[in-house]
Amino acid sequence: MKEVTVNNKDDLDRFRSGAAKYAAYLETPEGRLRLDLAFANLQEILPQSTKSLQVLDIGGGTGALAVRLAELGHHVTVLDASQPMLDLARQAALNAAVADRIALKLGDADQLASLFNAGSFDVVVCHNILEYVGAPAAVLRGAARLMRHPAGLISVLVRSQAGEVLKAAIKDGDLAAAETGLTAASTHESLYGGPARLFSAESVHAMFADVSLAVVAERGVRVVSDYLPPQLSRTEDYDRIFALERELGRRPEFARVARYTQFLASCATPSTKEARR
């Protein structure tokens, strides 16, 4: 796969100017599904204990996921390089009455080593951020360093190369783009504009192995919802679509062709984590 160059300054500019647009996207059926499914998958694998967990949400944006985790009783640090995003996260925490359990930190994902001490967090969330950083493997390595061993858990959500191929062919009817997508390293991101890196499942597994983390669960996010016929209401039938997506996302044959793939990994062995579920 060819490498893609991501300009961090351009990405930061588009995230700063696009904070309100991103918040609005999370209210659409597509945005809700991505958030709801990723949260449900994470909650299913979270360490089962009565204590409050220390969670780091890298690129946590508007705080939508952080608020949900805080409502479960956990303490969450939201790291984001966009102050407008953090402003929205602060307001969301206040509105949900969980501001005392959410800390906001302005900073880049590639500066984790200088921002936090090693072993500071029980859970690290890295959703839709590796698509935009200059060196995703280095960010993942930095995130792994922050996990408390051996019970630490990391959740990574990335844009799937296979999903982009199917989107081009099925939704857009663009066979040329589908053919190109088979080897493409990036795609054009429609919400913010600019490039977004694509990942194969094999490439993510290789990054985890490189930092000695074991993938304990792999889930597809938005397997078929983007391709449903227009006569099916994404709003009125949302619960049915969500339930179907949850079932499809658990099955490996469907997870690998979803628009996004979520990987949950631990320093512990997969058998240890599965026994905790």
Domains annotated on the chain, with CATH = 8-46+57-159+189-268 (3.40.50.150)
pLDDT digits (tens, 9 = 90+) for 193-250: 788 999 999 999 999 999 999 999 999 999 999 999 988 898 999 999 999 999 999 9
pLDDT digits (tens, 9 = 90+) for 74-99: 999 999 999 999 999 999 999 999 99
pLDDT digits (tens, 9 = 90+) for 27-74: 999 999 999 999 999 999 997 776 899 999 999 999 999 999 999 999
Q: Is 17 helix (H, G, I), strand (E, B) or coil?
A: helix
The pTM assigned to this predicted structure is: 0.90
- Cα-based torsion angle of the residue sequence 268, 277, 260, 115 in order, rounded to the nearest 10 degrees: -50
pLDDT at 188: 86
pLDDT at 274: 44
Rounded to whole angstroms, the Cα distance separating 104 from 44 reads: 25
Of the listed ranges 11-25, 26-40, 171-185, the least confidently predicted one is 11-25
Quickly state the pLDDT bin for 6 (edges 50, 70, 90): very low
| Cβ-count burial 36-74 (b if 16+ within 10 Å, e if not) | bbbbbbbeebbbeeeeebbbbbbbbbbbbbbbbbbeeeb
Rounded to whole angstroms, the Cα distance separating 86 from 114 reads: 20
- CA dist list (Å): 271 to 231, 255, 267, 268, 277: 44, 21, 12, 8, 10
DSSP 193: -
Stretch 155-168: mean pLDDT: 96
Structure tokens at 73: 């009783």
Of the listed ranges 3-7, 13-17, 30-34, 107-111, the least confidently predicted one is 3-7
- Cα-based torsion angle of the residue sequence 268, 254, 25, 185 in order, rounded to the nearest 10 degrees: 80
Of the listed ranges 20-34, 142-156, 180-194, 245-259, the least confidently predicted one is 180-194
Structure tokens at 108: 């880049």
Under a CB-based contact definition with an 8 Å cutoff, are residues 150 and 270 in contact? no
- Among candidate residues 35, 48, 146, 164, the one with its CA nearest the CA of residue 92: 35
Could you give phi then psi for residue 97, rounded to 5 degrees? 60, 40
**Please, how many CA atoms are within 13 Å of residue 89, restricted to the half-sphere of its CB?**
31
pLDDT at 16: 67
List of residues 6+ apart from 54 with CB closer than 8 A = 74, 75, 77, 120, 121, 122, 123, 148
Angle at 111 (CA atoms; ends 108, 117), nearest 5 degrees: 120
Rounded to whole angstroms, the Cα distance separating 191 from 131 reads: 13
Under a CB-based contact definition with an 8 Å cutoff, are residues 112 and 181 in contact? no
pLDDT at 272: 43
Q: Is 93 helix (H, G, I), strand (E, B) or coil?
A: helix
Residues of the chain above pLDDT 90, percent: 78
Rounded to whole angstroms, the Cα distance separating 242 from 239 reads: 5
Rounded to whole angstroms, the Cα distance separating 94 from 127 reads: 23
